């Protein structure tokens, strides 16, 4: 309370002289990561003449749309102080199951999509139910799901990729509408829907309330268990969607797909300003976080940086980006 009052006072006192400085710091606070993304893009454009072309920029967003969609679900989970480690394995499970329903001349293309989405949702609801009802830590429950879903994917597919998919199913990952790849359109759609969910609905208000102080939310009469199941269910649904896009994109259901995607997704969320302590995080931030990872992957490939160095650089950039962001938060 006090700090808020003092900020207001300060603003009033120095309306003319200091306010521009204040404004800069506020803009920095809100858009810091976006500026880091822009700085990275400018840097890469100087280093590689082919980086800043429409084709390559679309390429980056398309490559990140699978992890980006997962990251949006994970962001909402992390806001409730949870975590979801199962995303990558759920992608693999959905991939092989959806692929087996997507052979040409068997089912219409929406059947594998609905089955994939349903399966993703189911895994999420199982996560959420165990976490909220049995009161087991999300880390453990989703770690269990990560292992079990991977096993189920291998079991279902006998450890082998499932190919021969129909053209209509392949359109989801490989098609384009008005020159924009379908995965990007789906990514944007998920971003908008999730933004509305989180900012314009009761659901969103409760998600932040649970993350800010779960006990207070319970006392205030929020059905925390129900909303947690929603949150993990939604994350599972988005993992399922990501699995469908990936499968369609590579024309094959792969039991080994999605390895480490959960960590990329968590990294995107955290780079985008989501706090692992809960209560803080935005969809826009996560999308920026995902794009930062995408720009790095792409730029380092374009520059032909050795695969060993790529890993080190990625680690350093992620840490530095979050460090800058956290210092900025502290100052303002």
Partner 1 sequence: MRFSKNFISMVILLLFTMFVAVGCSGKQGASEPTTKQSGGSKKIVIGAALPDFDDKWLSYLQDGMKEYAKTQKDVEVIYVDAMNDASKQLSQVENFIQQKVDAIVLIPVDTVSAPEMIDKANQANIPIVVVNRIFDGVDKATAYVGSESIKSGIMQMEEVAKILGGKGNIAIMNGQMGHEAQIKRTEGNKEVIKKYPNMKVVLEGTAEWDRAKGMSLMENWLNSGKNIDAVVANNDEMAIGAIMALEDAGKLDDVVVAGIDATPDALEYVKSGKLKVTVFQNARGQGQGGLETAIKAAKGEKVEKFNWIPYELVTKDNVEEYIKKWQ
Residues that bind partner 1 (CB under 8 A): 48-51, 53, 55-56, 59, 63, 66, 133-135, 158-161, 163, 174, 246, 249-252, 254, 256-257, 259, 297-298, 301-304, 306-308, 310-311
Measured from the CB atom, the residue of 147 and 306 that comes closer to partner 1 is 306
CA neighbor of 228 nearest in space, from 142, 143, 100? 142
Measured from the CB atom, the residue of 143 and 302 that comes closer to partner 1 is 302
Measured from the CB atom, the residue of 86 and 248 that comes closer to partner 1 is 248
> Tokens 């053209």 sit at which residue?
167
In whole angstroms, give the CA distance from residue 39 to residue 327. 18
Measured from the CB atom, the residue of 79 and 98 that comes closer to partner 1 is 98
Q: How many CA atoms lie within 13 A of 52 on its CB side?
A: 11
Shortest distance, CB of residue 176 to partner 1, whole angstroms?
A: 10
Longest dimension (CA), the chain: 73
Shortest distance, CB of residue 260 to partner 1, whole angstroms?
A: 8
Shortest distance, CB of residue 304 to partner 1, whole angstroms?
A: 5
Measured from the CB atom, the residue of 181 and 273 that comes closer to partner 1 is 181
Q: Is 166 helix (H, G, I), strand (E, B) or coil?
A: coil
Shortest distance, CB of residue 50 to partner 1, whole angstroms?
A: 4
Residue 162 phi/psi, 5° resolution? -110, 115
Measured from the CB atom, the residue of 114 and 176 that comes closer to partner 1 is 176
Shortest distance, CB of residue 68 to partner 1, whole angstroms?
A: 13
What letter does residue 180 receive in the DSSP assignment? E
In whole angstroms, give the CA distance from residue 250 to residue 173. 8
Measured from the CB atom, the residue of 82 and 181 that comes closer to partner 1 is 181
Residues 6+ apart with CB under 8 A from 35: 28
What letter does residue 253 receive in the DSSP assignment? B
Shortest distance, CB of residue 311 to partner 1, whole angstroms?
A: 8
Torsion angle in degrees (nearest 10) through CA of 186, 187, 193, 199? -170
Shortest distance, CB of residue 127 to partner 1, whole angstroms?
A: 14
Residues 6+ apart with CB under 8 A from 329: 29
């Amino acid at each position: 309370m006090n700090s808020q009052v003092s900020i207001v006072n300060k603003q009033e006192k120095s309306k003319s002289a200091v306010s521009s400085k204040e404004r800069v710091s506020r803009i920095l606070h809100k858009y810091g990561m976006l500026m880091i993304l822009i700085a990275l893009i400018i840097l890469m454009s100087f280093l590689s003449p082919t980086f800043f072309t429409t084709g390559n920029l679309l390429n980056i967003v398309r490559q990140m749309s699978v992890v980006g969609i997962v990251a949006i679900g994970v962001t909402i989970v992390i806001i409730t102080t949870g975590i979801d480690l199962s995303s990558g394995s759920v992608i693999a499970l959905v991939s092989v199951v959806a692929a087996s329903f997507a052979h040409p001349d068997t089912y219409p293309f929406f059947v594998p999509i609905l089955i994939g989405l349903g399966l993703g949702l189911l895994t999420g609801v199982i996560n959420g139910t165990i976490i909220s009802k049995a009161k087991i830590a999300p880390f453990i429950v989703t770690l269990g799901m990560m292992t079990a879903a991977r096993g189920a994917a291998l079991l279902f597919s006998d450890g082998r990729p499932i190919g021969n998919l129909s053209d209509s199913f392949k359109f989801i990952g490989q098609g384009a509408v008005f020159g924009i790849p379908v995965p990007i359109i789906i990514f944007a759609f998920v971003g908008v829907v999730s933004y509305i969910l989180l900012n314009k609905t009761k659901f969103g208000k409760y998600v932040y309330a649970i993350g800010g102080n779960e006990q207070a939310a319970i006392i205030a009469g929020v059905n925390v268990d129900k909303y947690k199941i929603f949150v993990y269910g939604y994350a599972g649904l988005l993992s399922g969607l990501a699995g469908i896009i990936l499968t369609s994109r590579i024309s094959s259901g792969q039991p080994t797909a999605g390895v480490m995607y959960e960590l990329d997704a968590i990294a995107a969320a955290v780079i985008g300003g989501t706090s692992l302590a809960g209560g803080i995080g935005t969809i826009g931030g996560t999308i920026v976080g995902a794009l930062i990872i995408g720009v790095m992957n792409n730029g380092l490939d374009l520059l032909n940086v050795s695969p060993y160095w790529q890993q080190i650089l990625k680690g350093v950039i992620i840490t530095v980006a979050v460090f800058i962001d956290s210092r900025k938060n502290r100052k303002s």
